[in-house]
């Protein structure tokens, strides 16, 4: 192999590496979902469904949430679980609040077991979620 062939091979490999690295910047957000995107650890936006390009190693998708009404099964303990119907209204607030629905249900159940729905409605509003309904899961 001559020097010219060697340098041409190295240049082709480097070029291919650069192209592959650039292609890793595509982020796909599924239909019916939104994605939370951060740049170097800071929030830059909430994006709707589609294929988008962001800078590799700098931008990343840190959350993906369903649009519209959702239902989730939450286990409070080994013997008790609930179906929670809700809708996320403020995706940024929900993502960065540091709370999840499981812990909110457990807190609300411990605080007010007789009026779980009202307690959940109040707590969910604080994290950008519209509470719809709660019903016990009959095992």
Structural tokens at position 54: 């962001």
pLDDT attached to residue 65: 94
Mean pLDDT by runs of 10 across the 139 residues of the chain is: 89 92 87 94 93 89 93 86 92 89 83 80 89 85
Domain boundaries, the chain: 25-67, 69-136
pLDDT attached to residue 80: 85
pLDDT attached to residue 139: 66
C-alpha 123/C-alpha 131 separation (Å) is: 9
pLDDT attached to residue 66: 94
Say whether pTM exceeds 0.75.
yes
């Amino acid at each position: 192999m001559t020097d010219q062939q060697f340098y041409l091979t190295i240049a082709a490999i480097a070029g291919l590496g650069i192209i592959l690295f650039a292609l890793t910047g595509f982020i796909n957000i599924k239909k019916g979902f939104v994605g939370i995107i951060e740049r170097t650890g800071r929030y830059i936006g909430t994006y709707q469904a589609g294929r988008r390009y962001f800078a590799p190693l700098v931008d990343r998708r840190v959350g993906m949430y369903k649009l519209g009404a959702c239902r989730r099964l939450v286990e409070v303990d080994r013997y008790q679980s609930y179906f929670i119907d809700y809708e996320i209204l403020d995706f940024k607030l929900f993502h960065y609040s540091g709370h999840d629905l499981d812990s909110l249900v457990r807190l609300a159940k411990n605080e007010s077991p007789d009026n779980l729905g009202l307690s959940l409605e109040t707590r969910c509003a604080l994290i950008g979620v519209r509470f719809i309904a709660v019903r016990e899961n009959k095992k």
